[in-house]
Structure 1
Amino acid sequence: MTGYRSALILMRIPFSVYLMPVFWFALSTLQSFEVWRAVTVFLILHLLVYPASNGYNSYYDRDEGSIGGLERPPKVTRELMHLVLLFDVMAVVLALWLSPLFAALIALYLLISKAYSYEGIRLKKYPILSTLVVTVFQGAFTYFMVQVGVGLTASEVLQQPNVWFALVSTLFLCGSYPLTQIYQHQEDSQRGDRTLSLLLGVRGTYLFSGISLLLGTALLLWLYFTQEQVQNIYIFLLCTAPIVYFFSGWVVKSLKDARAASFGNTMAMNKISSVCISLAFILMIVSAHIL
């Protein structure tokens, strides 16, 4: 049982909260959806799919230093792979209950997430390719997957302007993903993984992330304006102000002292951005469907 307790910790279920914004964003652009389906999709993604991906990543990385959501990860045991496979099966079976297409998308997501870490493929070794795969699949692909899960058809999710909203989610992932690597340069180098953040360096990572987040925000606000959803512009700008404040301060501190590009500050950035962006989209859902 000790092995399974350690394995469950390495699946980092609480860390799934950092991926919540895409779920809320996908719902916020819909005119209507069934709540029970949305709740089911949320549980499948955040309690099964994301933890299974985290666990698989930990199984092959065998990190000794800090990783996302865990400052001191326990040692990897064979029980971790048991849980990963169990969560994989449960996710696909539950997704099949909603729709075959949703189950197929979930299965594809799980396979791609494994290619990221699996030693025979290990996309993590290729900075550009791994960034493209992660940002597309955790961004636009997940955005579409959520909407399919709540009942939309493939043709509906691929309509305009929905595809542009999906692009926004990928741009936001382009901004946040390299920041999660910024404190792991030494360990990634020792393992032979050449991440985008390692390739860009600390300064380059901040610049790349800042530009990506700025482009994503500009496109999102333009879409809200052209869709005559001006109230969403105010909601988004108000809720994301703390992110801008923290990110700006973090960059300034890191440029003065490289030690500020630390695990603690990275996790703080993740928490603030996840909570603030999720809150923005939740408020948009409430204002559109309840008020």
Structure 2
Amino acid sequence: MKNVLLHLRIPFSFFLMPVYWFALSQSNLSHRGIAVGIFILLHLFIYPASNAYNSYYDKDESSIGGLENPPPVSESLFYTAWILDIMAIVVAWAISGWILALALLIYSSVSKAYSNERIRLKKYPIISWLTVGIFQGAFTYLAIIQAVDNIALSSLWQWKYLFPALLSSCNLLGFYPMTQVYQHKEDAKRGDLTISRLLGIRGTFLFTGFIFLVVTIGFFLYFQKNELFGIPVMALYLVIMSPVLLFFNGWFLKILKNEDEADFKNTMKLNLIGSFCLNTFFILLFLKFFF
């Protein structure tokens, strides 16, 4: 039981939480009860189930995201992942309706295709990278805002929803390769050519830095055109995200001297700093702290 709980990696959900707070900050919060329910379903059911399913098929012996020393896996981990997913879908239907339930069903199905040995999207670098970015980013953002504000599916195809959803995906597309930068040997042993292995360690840093630049420009354009926010919000974003930039650049300088610095501890530090800063920024937007 203890091993199963460890493989759920519930604290790792913190790294995916910025998408939730960003969606809420841009919503009208028409249904607060649903907003609370979605938070619980995503971070305590759907994301942990995905982690458990991934761990079951990977059977990692070295460090993985959120676990420096992963314990052995068992069949119970496989069934736990399915139980959590089914419970989340049923509850989603009960509190919000078929659209949210379908969204969670699609998400859980894609996450299984990512890890399952027969399909294993994970071994295809570009497909796996896009899959994670789209479904943990834009897809989740749109699912949250649709359920919270009860938006018609046809109405979601507006730029005011699609642009921030795209920014959510870009954030994930930047962070995702960094989560793999220390796993090259383990991935090679399984035959998984991840996006980070394809880019190489230094290439991963350069690629991520470029994506972050694109995201920053994207947020500038979004906040500049959004009448509720504007330039002061962009300044706040730059200030809050500055620790991420400082750590990232400092780590990259170490990598240039010694690629062994691309290890689990530094990766988790970057994830923690990045997630903390993004969560803080989006929660402040949600609270309208600066008005």
Write the distance in 2 (CA, Å) between the matches of 1:107 and 1:8: 22
Q: Kindly indicate whether residue 54 of structure 2 is the aligned counterpart of residue 57 of structure 1.
A: yes
**Alignment match, 1:149:** 147
- What displacement does 1:146 show? 1.0
- Please say if residues 179 and 205 of structure 1, whose CA atoms lie closer than 8 Å, have aligned partners that are also in contact: yes
Q: Kindly indicate whether residue 173 of structure 2 is the aligned counterpart of residue 158 of structure 1.
A: no
Q: Kindly indicate whether residue 280 of structure 2 is the aligned counterpart of residue 279 of structure 1.
A: yes
**Alignment match, 2:106:** 108
- What displacement does 1:52 show? 0.3
What SS does the aligned partner of 1:225 have? helix
Write the distance in 1 (CA, Å) between the matches of 2:192 and 2:250: 29
- Please say if residues 235 and 284 of structure 1, whose CA atoms lie closer than 8 Å, have aligned partners that are also in contact: no
Write the distance in 2 (CA, Å) between the matches of 1:233 and 1:38: 26
**Alignment match, 1:189:** 188
5+ long unaligned stretches in structure 2 = none
**Alignment match, 1:205:** 204
- What displacement does 1:116 show? 0.4
Write the distance in 2 (CA, Å) between the matches of 1:32 and 1:148: 10
Among 106, 129, 132, which residue is 2:130 paired with? 132
Write the distance in 2 (CA, Å) between the matches of 1:120 and 1:233: 45
Q: TM-score, normalised by structure 1?
A: 0.95
What SS does the aligned partner of 2:159 have? coil
**Alignment match, 1:31:** 28
CA RMSD of aligned residues (A): 1.3
Residues matched between the structures, number: 287
- Please say if residues 115 and 121 of structure 2, whose CA atoms lie closer than 8 Å, have aligned partners that are also in contact: yes
5+ long unaligned stretches in structure 1 = none
- Please say if residues 8 and 83 of structure 1, whose CA atoms lie closer than 8 Å, have aligned partners that are also in contact: no
- Please say if residues 148 and 154 of structure 1, whose CA atoms lie closer than 8 Å, have aligned partners that are also in contact: yes
Output one character per residue of 1:128-151: Cα deviation in whole Å (capped at 9) or x when no partner: 111111111111111111112313
- Please say if residues 139 and 166 of structure 1, whose CA atoms lie closer than 8 Å, have aligned partners that are also in contact: yes
Write the distance in 2 (CA, Å) between the matches of 1:163 and 1:78: 40
Superposition misfits of 4+ residues, deviation over 3 angstroms:
none
Q: Kindly indicate whether residue 272 of structure 2 is the aligned counterpart of residue 264 of structure 1.
A: no
> Which amino acid in 1 is paired with 2:33?
W
Output one character per residue of 1:67-125: Cα deviation in whole Å (capped at 9) or x when no partner: 00000000001111121111011110111121210000000000000000100000111
Output one character per residue of 1:141-192: Cα deviation in whole Å (capped at 9) or x when no partner: 1111111231332233322222111111111111100000000000100110
Write the distance in 2 (CA, Å) between the matches of 1:64 and 1:84: 20
Write the distance in 2 (CA, Å) between the matches of 1:72 and 1:197: 21
Q: Kindly indicate whether residue 118 of structure 2 is the aligned counterpart of residue 117 of structure 1.
A: no
Write the distance in 1 (CA, Å) between the matches of 2:57 and 2:194: 16
Q: TM-score, normalised by structure 2?
A: 0.95
Percent of aligned positions with the same letter in both sequences? Answer: 45
Q: Which shifted more, 160-169 or 64-73?
A: 160-169
> Which amino acid in 2 is paired with 1:169?
S
What SS does the aligned partner of 2:192 have? coil
